[in-house]
Amino acid sequence: MGFQVNLPGWRRAVNCLCGVETQKANQNTNTSRPVIDPQQEAIKASEFIKEDPTWSKYVLSLICVIANVYFLTANHLIIYILY
């Protein structure tokens, strides 16, 4: 178990909200990362990029609806202002 760091209360609250550890790490803690082959690292990173096509279709449809509402509203405002 580490020792509590002497910080002001507001700083401990911000650290808690941000998920920052407020205790000192033990001296015998191993913080080195294992060496990963670049190809394995690329495969691991690509797993986060894969998207569900259904989700992409819904997001694209939502963007189109929002854009249409925005442009229709803008056109009505321009017509109202001009006339």
Instruction: Give the pLDDT of residue 62.
Output: 92
- In angstroms, the CA 8 to CA 16 distance is 12
Contact 60, 68 (CB under 8 A): no
Q: What is the pTM of this model?
A: 0.34
Q: In this predicted model, what pLDDT tens digit does every residue of 50-76 receive, in sequence order?
A: 777 788 888 889 999 998 888 877 777
Distance CA 11, CA 20 (A): 10
